[in-house]
Structure 1
């Protein structure tokens, strides 16, 4: 009796996790609230990916590391994550930290998708491995400077702390305002006292004081001092880096924190995906989601499409940025090479200048919008 021929056994499906490293400031001196919102977006999107079957049947696993706003800690985290076999690294909020992480990732041949840091020069040399969702600082801060000019402001004071990020912002403002007769005077945010800084603002007859400084210290005491100084009753306080976006700003300052224009990266109106994600983020955070939470969600949406379409090896991920076209919560994400950044950049990221309404500090007013690169 003939014996039936046996068919070769099929290879077992790979069900191992696709690992992705995630960086966020989750402890002080990092901006913990921003880190929490960023992580909420990352985790929400990852959960949805896995509920929909993962990456070719493999679960997406986030390996989260706290940078605490420390570049050295971020570099060490990238080293560790590379050793754990991650397909890519994502995240980070603080620009100086993201720059350190991007540089190390590039040196290790590891793709990095930056979620929320805007410093133009994210790497020292141009890199094909690094991509970024938020607009570069030079673009966003030019939009902010245009809002100041449109409101009639030409004499600008900045209360700045030492930082590459703050120094870069001052250069953008000065270069953009100067052709229009605007001036920028730099003051020390760490002055001996908030009152001493108020004296300097009054002496320079500035009509705007921009807070290029950490939150809550020294930003909150400076806002309170300016609001209570009768000499500065007509001075506009601004915070281009986005401090007033988060609920803690309103809790700390109440009405004093209203009417402070800042930058955020949301469209004037969310589409159906954005509305659905906003509701889910609100439930997860027990608060209104910031633009940073949407950046986190869009990060995973983009990376998931890359992993599903181009594979999970690092070279495939790094080589795919130019072919990305993903519908995110804030528009369709496509990356191009933007002059001055050296990385793959979402050029169409929305930019708004927004403040909290003095009549209702829980409500945001959109003062200016730029939907694409100016």
Structure 2
């Protein structure tokens, strides 16, 4: 469904003169982007579009995705937003990487292009309040506090974090540090710009930390860190965690096998899917030829929201943005409504279901729910 570029023109600024209704889509489909997440997100978006078109489209006009690969590059994403706005898309959707979504949101706000962010959790998605941007996934502060509660409940008070330079990782460290400190916990930072995986093991052995959280890229350096820690007998009792969700995707199990099990991570699904979620899950499983991640459901829900808005409010961009506070649709993971949340400058679904899960060591393809919030 990747539509080739077409010449921009003033008559196409809201898509009204086009025989189709176009939605611009940003997804990471090449390295260094998280390709597995991008593939799942796009699968959900595409399934949603097929179902919308099977039901007659948008007032009889087919819905179409105009897909652009961000490759986890904020500059590439911002340029794509400019291009998509010129092509006349009615709205913008997608993205997984928070730093990329932040660049896209800033550009969409400047251009007056409604943007429904599917899967990027950074609290500060925009620098100032905006009416143009809404978000489906929970804010990082909400999900990562739930993860910190899981750690505390499991008896972990001294936490080490392997980090790389990033606004997203720095924000995560701050959330964890503040929440854990309020309960008598502490955080030790390990700079992966200065440490090898072997050196990380030495630091951990001296740190008295009972858990190590991977706040780093995937597969590098996350996979080598896990391999080193799992192979170090000094750290046999250490919990490895990955709140950003690296173990969610099949590639994790493929690369690490049993070493990748028992590593808790966040995902945004209910413990039991309702009828819509179960049906969509079956369709996504067939499409992906593997178990769909929560990111695939986020993609489907993105189209559910946008199709509802476009059908009720038309394709004019300002009307689409005006519709965010009136949205009430049944998604795969519950009823979706947007509101203003303190500290969040975009329209926010507060909140999707949040789970802490891991892969079962006895059966790494099976996920176990450890904690809900």
Q: TM-score range by the shorter chain?
A: over 0.9
SS in 2 for 1:166: helix
Given candidates 136, 150, 153, the residue that maps to 1:133 is 136
For 2:17 and 2:90, the matched residues in 1 are separated by 15
Q: CA deviation at 1:192?
A: 4.2
Q: CA deviation at 1:189?
A: 2.2
Given candidates 299, 304, 308, the residue that maps to 2:302 is 299
For 1:259 and 1:53, the matched residues in 2 are separated by 45
Given candidates 210, 215, 218, the residue that maps to 2:221 is 218
Is residue 14–residue 58 contact of structure 1 (8 Å, CA) maintained in 2? no
Alignment RMSD: 1.0
Is residue 75–residue 100 contact of structure 1 (8 Å, CA) maintained in 2? yes
Given candidates 101, 104, 110, the residue that maps to 1:98 is 101
For 2:96 and 2:192, the matched residues in 1 are separated by 22
- Equivalent residue for 1:111? 114
For 1:275 and 1:191, the matched residues in 2 are separated by 45
* Runs of at least 5 residues in structure 2 that lack an aligned partner in the other structure: 1-15
Is residue 15–residue 57 contact of structure 1 (8 Å, CA) maintained in 2? no
What is the number of residues matched between the two proteins? Answer: 358
- Equivalent residue for 1:5? none
Given candidates 230, 244, 257, the residue that maps to 1:227 is 230
Given candidates 56, 74, 77, the residue that maps to 1:53 is 56
- Equivalent residue for 2:190? 187
- Equivalent residue for 2:32? 29
- Equivalent residue for 1:3? none
Post-superposition Cα deviations, 1:268-290, rounded to whole Å, max 9, x if no partner, equal: 10001111111110111110000
- Equivalent residue for 2:86? 83
SS in 2 for 1:29: coil
For 1:66 and 1:196, the matched residues in 2 are separated by 35
Assess, with a 3 A threshold, how the Cα gap between structure 1 residues 234 and 46 changes in structure 2: closer, same or farther.
same
- Equivalent residue for 1:263? 266
SS in 1 for 2:259: helix
User: Which runs of structure 2 are paired with 1:138-157 in the superposition (5 Å)?
Assistant: 138-157=141-160
For 1:51 and 1:195, the matched residues in 2 are separated by 54
User: TM-score, structure 1 length as denominator?
Assistant: 0.95
* Runs of at least 5 residues in structure 1 that lack an aligned partner in the other structure: 1-12
- Equivalent residue for 1:39? 42
